[in-house]
């Protein structure tokens, strides 16, 4: 009996290490829903127990049911039928049915729509667990953000029409943004939204690369103001997948074969507007994409975890030169670095999810501020702080976890040697599935553009200053000094970049964001090493277990000490002032090939 929740000691640890009780109190609004809904928790302990129960059952479903189907899903893919309908791969259809039965398709939706009303931290854990079993299924499971957007911004009748069905798993959704000429640059969206004489909205035009475009409920970004270019000419609409929605093609792609990627033609499709006109991109889609970015970070974690486990096992069992290959320094180095990168990524993802939960909690609380003026002021300040931090940590998580999962899956194949290249092992599938994570929901380059603002405006420094104020075990005090040195270097790099203008910031943004992430992760790992949680974890030595905090202290040490010279080198590069990218492109890149 495999259980992808129970067998993951890091997830188990983090759920104890984090203050889930406080998060539960926030999302349950002091447990006021318990009086009205039987499923709502009555107190912190009840809520946390419920989170564990749901993750446990999802862990079993993922381990026993979804994972064994992943290979056949990958080989079979989806089918575009002659009548324009799409059939999922058999394993995907079966797993979706099981997920609906398990009542986990409304993870963060409110109780009143039949949702679980769980915090994002738990949703992130759930996405990782499902992705580890089958990354392509996660694409459909993870589209719960469609329902969240409807819940956050649509009028009540629209919520009533769709949200119960989402929670019950009767419908799935799609996020319909991209067009042939509007990818990263969504401000260029052209698909037309227009009104008829009876004031009803319709959609006309083409969208491409739409995950689960065959889903029943489509959220579509469209140009409602024909005379207005840019983002302010766009509104968000919801429509059913009726007879005027034509799936013209399913993409034939490298990975995530179980996730149908559709080209859609909307032929005067009736629809309804979400929220207010002209706020489609600037408010609603930005919110939708931020949630989805955390989802992709969690998906990346699941893929990396799956690949690591295969490599870890292989490194112990494969012998060359008379020894298991894990005895060879080059191999054991890869194995350790994979594991460390995964735990660093998970630390960042959970912290990001926690901050987003706090941000949402503050936003709700600000709507009904306390009478006490000081408390109300504090609440407003907190709300602003969490918003700024979430705005920076979200793209950081998406960037770090997706790039990390590509490195980990690449190295997994390397650990397996020739066998890793063959379809006999799942790591080649993991590597193919991983590749998309740095592209959709905004490429890594776009995540850097979003994150570097927070690094250069002081949000990263303020956050780290707050981390530095927390209490730590003496065992990591020397590491905290290294982190403090790193922060000084980062300040130097930021000052240099600011002096050299926006183009320079675009050019060296990646280096600054890399440094900031390494430092933030360093603090998070030091916090984990200083945990109060009493938990024993197995080592590779049979029968030998040690306290988790001891393992985390060693992880923090390796992570911080190995990154320190890298941070110095990155800041040196930033401050060296090389502008050949601007001045010598024509020479360095050479001509465009003509054949």
Ligand X SMILES: Cc1cc2nc3c(=O)[nH]c(=O)nc-3n(C[C@H](O)[C@H](O)[C@H](O)COP(=O)(O)OP(=O)(O)OC[C@H]3O[C@@H](n4cnc5c(N)ncnc54)[C@H](O)[C@@H]3O)c2cc1C
Binding region for ligand X (CB under 6 A) out of 112-120, 302-310, 362-370, 441-449: 441-449
Q: Is 187 in the site for ligand X (CB under 6 A)?
A: no
Where in 190-249 is the site for ligand X (CB under 6 A)?
209-211
**Cβ 219 to ligand X, closest distance in Å?**
9
DSSP state of 593: P
For β-strands 217-223 and 173-176, DSSP reports them as parallel
Nearer to ligand X, 221 or 564 (CB): 221
Tell me whether strands 201-211 and 192-195 are parallel, antiparallel or unpaired.
antiparallel
Q: How many residues interact with ligand X (rule CB under 6 A)?
A: 20
Nearest CA to 297 among 123, 458, 173? 123
Separation between Cα atoms, residue 193 and residue 126, nearest integer Å: 36
Q: Is 155 helix (H, G, I), strand (E, B) or coil?
A: coil
Tokens, residue 415: 């650990």
Q: Which stretch binds ligand X (CB under 6 A): 170-178, 334-342, 357-365, 451-459?
A: 170-178
Q: How far is the CB of 180 from ligand X (least distance, A)?
A: 8
Please identify the residue of the shown chain whose CB is closest to the bound ligand X. 183
Reduced DSSP (H G I as helix, E B as strand, rest coil) percent helix, strand, coil of the chain, to 5? 65, 10, 25
Establish if 452 lies at the interface with ligand X (CB under 6 A). no
- The smaller minimum CB distance to ligand X, of residues 349 and 446, is found at 446
CB of 45 to ligand X, least distance (A): 38
Q: How far is the CB of 497 from ligand X (least distance, A)?
A: 16
Number of H helices, E strands in the chain: 21, 13
Residue 175 makes contact with ligand X by CB under 6 A? yes
d(C-alpha 217, C-alpha 494), whole Å: 44
Q: Which stretch binds ligand X (CB under 6 A): 76-84, 123-131, 151-159, 169-177?
A: 169-177
User: By C-beta, is 11 or 456 nearer to ligand X?
Assistant: 456
Cα–Cα nearest to 386, from 367, 360, 368: 360
* 507 lies in the binding site for ligand X (CB under 6 A): no
Are the beta carbons of 168 and 157 closer than 8 angstroms?
Answer: no
In DSSP terms, 536 is beta-bridged to 547
422 contacts: CB under 8 Å, gap ≥ 6? 428
β-strand partners of 237: 220, 273
Task: Decide: 537 and 9 in contact? Cβ < 8 Å.
Answer: yes
436 near ligand X, rule: CB under 6 A = yes
- C-beta of 39 vs 184, nearer to ligand X: 184
Binding residue for ligand X, selected from 278, 445, 462, 554, defined by CB under 6 A: 445
Among 87, 187, 414, 443, binds ligand X (CB under 6 A): 443
Residue 418 to residue 38: CA distance in whole angstroms = 55
- According to CB under 6 A, which one of 400, 410, 440, 523 is a site residue for ligand X? 440
61, 449, 489, 516: residue in contact with ligand X (rule CB under 6 A): 449
Residue of the chain from 73, 125, 140, 177 that contacts ligand X (CB under 6 A):
177
In the bound complex, what is the minimum distance in angstroms from residue 456's beta carbon to ligand X?
16
Instruction: Name the token pair of 306.
Output: 């799956």
Q: Which of 3, 136, 235, 261 binds ligand X (CB under 6 A)?
A: 261
Q: Which of 3, 144, 178, 394 binds ligand X (CB under 6 A)?
A: 178
Under 8 Å CB-to-CB from 320, ≥6 apart: which residues? 328
Pick the closer one to ligand X by CB: 210 or 338: 210
Question: What does the alpha-carbon distance between residue 398 and residue 377 come to, in Å, rounded to a whole number?
Answer: 32
Task: Give me the least distance between CB of 408 and ligand X, in Å please.
Answer: 20
Specify the pairing of strand 536-538 against strand 545-547. Answer: antiparallel
Could you list the residues that contact ligand X (CB under 6 A)? 174-178, 183-184, 209-211, 253, 261, 436, 439-440, 442-443, 445-446, 449
């Amino acid at each position: 009996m495999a259980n992808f929740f129970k067998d993951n000691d890091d997830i188990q640890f983090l759920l104890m290490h984090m203050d889930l009780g406080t998060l539960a109190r926030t999302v349950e609004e002091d447990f006021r829903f318990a009086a009205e809904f039987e499923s709502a928790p009555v107190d912190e302990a009840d809520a946390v127990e419920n989170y564990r129960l749901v993750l446990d059952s999802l862990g079993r479903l993922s381990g026993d049911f979804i994972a064994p189907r992943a290979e056949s899903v990958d080989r079979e893919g989806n089918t575009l039928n002659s009548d324009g309908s799409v059939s999922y791969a058999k394993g995907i259809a079966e797993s979706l049915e099981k997920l609906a039965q398990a009542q986990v398709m409304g993870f963060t939706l409110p109780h009143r729509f039949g949702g679980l009303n769980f915090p994002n931290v738990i949703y992130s854990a759930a996405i990782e667990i499902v992705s580890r079993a089958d990354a392509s299924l996660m694409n459909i499971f993870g589209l719960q953000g469609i329902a969240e957007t409807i819940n956050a911004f649509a009028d009540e009748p629209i919520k009533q029409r769709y949200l119960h069905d989402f929670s019950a798993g009767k419908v799935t959704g799609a996020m319909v943004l991209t067009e042939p000429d509007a990818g990263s640059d969504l401000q260029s969206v052209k698909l037309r939204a227009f009104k008829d004489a009876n004031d009803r909205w319709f959609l006309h035009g083409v969208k491409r690369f739409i995950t689960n475009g065959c889903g029943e409920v489509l959220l579509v970004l469209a140009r409602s103001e024909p005379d207005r270019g840019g983002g302010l000419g766009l509104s968000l609409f919801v429509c059913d997948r009726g007879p005027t929605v034509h799936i013209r093609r399913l993409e034939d792609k490298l990975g995530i074969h179980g996730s149908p990627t559709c080209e859609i033609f909307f032929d005067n499709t009736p629809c309804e507007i979400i929220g207010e006109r002209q706020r489609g991109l600037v408010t609603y889609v930005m919110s939708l994409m931020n949630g989805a970015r955390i989802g992709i970070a969690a998906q990346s974690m699941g893929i990396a975890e799956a690949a690591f486990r295969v490599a870890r096992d292989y490194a112990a069992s494969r012998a060359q030169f008379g020894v298991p290959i894990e005895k060879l320094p080059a191999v054991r180095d890869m194995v350790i670095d994979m594991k460390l990168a995964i735990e660093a990524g998970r630390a960042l993802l959970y912290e990001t999810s926690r901050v987003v939960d706090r941000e949402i909690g503050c936003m709700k609380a600000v709507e009904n501020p306390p009478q006490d003026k000081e408390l109300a002021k504090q609440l407003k300040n907190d709300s602003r702080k969490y918003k700024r931090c979430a705005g920076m940590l979200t793209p950081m998580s998406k960037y770090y976890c997706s790039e990390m999962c590509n490195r980990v899956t690449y190295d997994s194949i390397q650990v397996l040697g020739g066998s890793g290249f063959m379809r006999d092992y799942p790591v080649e599938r993991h590597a193919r599935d991983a590749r998309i994570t740095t592209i959709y929901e905004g490429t890594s380059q776009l995540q850097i553009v979003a994150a570097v603002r927070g690094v250069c405006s002081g949000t990263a420094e303020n956050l780290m200053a707050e981390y530095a104020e927390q209490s730590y075990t003496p065992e990591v005090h020397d590491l905290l000094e290294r982190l403090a040195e790193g922060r000084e270097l980062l300040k130097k790099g930021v000052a240099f970049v600011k002096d050299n203008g926006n183009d320079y910031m675009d050019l060296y943004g990646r280096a600054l964001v890399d440094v900031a992430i390494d430092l933030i992760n360093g603090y998070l790992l030091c916090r984990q090493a200083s945990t109060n949680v009493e938990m024993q974890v197995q080592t590779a030595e049979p029968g030998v277990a040690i306290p988790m905090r001891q393992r985390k202290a060693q992880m923090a040490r390796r992570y911080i000490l190995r990154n320190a010279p890298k941070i110095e080198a990155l800041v040196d590069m930033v401050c060296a002032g090389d502008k050949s990218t601007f001045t010598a492109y024509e020479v360095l890149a050479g001509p465009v090939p003509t054949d």
